[in-house]
Each structure stands twice: as C-alpha cells, then as structure tokens.
Structure 1
C-alpha cells in the first residue's frame, strides 16, 4: 500500500512539474493568439505532410502520433484548465512541426500549406525555423 501511495505522489509531482514547465514555455501574448487562429490550417498541413511519401518515415510517424494525440479525448493537461489546457497542445504541435519542417525542404512545406503566405510565415516564426 505504501508503494502505491509513493507512486501516486511521484506521478502527481511529475504532473505538477509538467504544468510549471508548460507555464514557463507557453507562447506569450500575440503568439498564442496567432497559433490558435492558424489551427485549422496547421491541422490540414500536418495531415497533408503525414501522407506525403517524400517525407522521411520518422517525420511521418511523428506527425501521425501528433494527430492521434490531438484527437484523443484526454490530454496531459485537461483543456478546461485556463491557458495551459490548450497550451500543451500548441507546444506539442509546435515542437513536432519544428522537427519536421527542419527535416523537409521549404518548398514541400509551402506546397502543402493551405493558408496564406503570411500564415506560413507565422508558422515558421512560431516553430523558429
């Protein structure tokens, strides 16, 4: 019984550390608002890239795992928690996109981007590519 309590407290402590980490790295100010506005275009981009055989297999796997995580009804941080609820999704998507965009030619990304050129430049800025 003591072991179960210890494991539960350890998991709770790790989850609280995750919350603090997300709070520290979340997009600030306008960046979060821009990310939310671009969400439909980003989801279409991720889906199109995940189906493109020109991408390395590891990049496509990361994209499919991201889509699966976003589709699941539960998250690491529940969406009802203000700011952080959606920030974990935005941070994870940004991290995966950043790694994929760095592994793929810029013209492939531009080819699959469904939005405006300004939107693509915002995505590049948010993913720091």
Structure 2
C-alpha cells in the first residue's frame, strides 16, 4: 500500500473507527476528553450537594418560624402533598376526586409552571390556586371528616380553603 501523504509507515485507508496503531485519530478518548467528563461529573455532584444543602437549610428555617401566617404558608405545600398521598390511597374517596387530587399533586411536583417559581411572592401562586381548586372539588365529593383526617396541618386552614359546609338539602 502507498504511504499516506508522504508519511512513512502510515496506511492510506478510510476511517473505520477501529484502532490502528500509529493513527492519531484512532477513535479512543484521549486524556483531555476523560478529564472533561470527570470535571463535568464533579461539577454536577457539587451542584446537587449545594441544592440538597439549601433545601435542608430552608426546612430548618421553616421549622423555626414562630406560629402564625408565615409558618402556615411555609407548611402549606408540604401539607398539600401529604394530603394528596393520603387521599389517593383512601377507599372512601371517589374516582373523580382522586383524579383531581392526583393532577394537583403532579402539578405541585412538576417543575413546569404558569408562573416561574423564582418570582418573589407570586411564584408559587399557580401551585396554590390549582391545589385549592382541586381540594374544593374534592371537598364537594368527599366527606369533610375524611379530608380533615388526611390533612396534617392546622384544620382551620383546610376549613378556610374548603369554604362553608354546604347544608344538606331538606328532604322533599
């Protein structure tokens, strides 16, 4: 075979991706590529560790809040997720109410929102509205005792969210 481009000992053949001794572009990752992947993984690990540490700090600070509206607001979303989990497993909850509750839970857990979460004050507003609507719908389908048993937070918050109890219609 003829020498490739005047380089002695190098064969002129099409690149097949196989390793050929003496070839510069043999298809194997070099030290620069391996370092790049390793650096990327280290950076990802540091980012995940920082995220988990910030969540832990927020949980710690939320638990130290004095009783009042701020503490209630900090606990609202976790209380809603716990309620969704409990109602989903309760056999006394009708299927339509379970679907509404599960959709609200998925909405809460989803990173996709109508209003981005990083906007102060109004960021979690769409989450709260969706959960409130789903719980009000479930409140019309499920006995209040079941909802109150599933709610881990202050019962007054749930009762305020559900609105006044509908009086039973007089028998006709």
Shorter-chain TM-score: what band? 0.5 to 0.7
The match for 2:13 is none
1:107 to 145, 149, 153: 145
Question: What are the Cα deviations for residues 29-60 of structure 1, in whole angstroms up to 9, with x where unaligned?
Answer: x8787343333222211210122121110100
1:58 to 92, 96, 112: 96
Cα distance between partner residues in 2 of 1:110 and 1:92? 19
Change (3 A) 1:34 1:126: farther
The match for 2:82 is 44
TM-score for the superposition, normalised by structure 1: 0.65
Cα distance between partner residues in 2 of 1:32 and 1:127? 20
The match for 2:155 is 120
For this pair of structures, how many residues does the alignment match?
97
The match for 1:91 is 129
Larger helix share, 1 or 2: 1
* SS state at 1:38 partner: helix
| RMSD over equivalenced CA pairs, Å | 2.1
2:107 to 64, 69, 81: 69
Cα distance between partner residues in 2 of 1:100 and 1:48? 13
Deviation at residue 72 of structure 1 after TM alignment? 1.2
* SS state at 1:54 partner: coil
Deviation at residue 67 of structure 1 after TM alignment? 1.1
Where does structure 2 lack aligned partners over 5 or more consecutive residues?
A: 1-67, 165-172
Cα distance between partner residues in 2 of 1:128 and 1:31? 18
Contact 1:31 1:126 in 2 (8 A): no
Larger strand share, 1 or 2: 2
Q: Which has the larger radius of gyration?
A: 2
Change (3 A) 1:32 1:59: farther
**Higher relative contact order by CA 8 Å / sep ≥ 6: 1 or 2?**
1
The match for 1:23 is none
The match for 2:36 is none
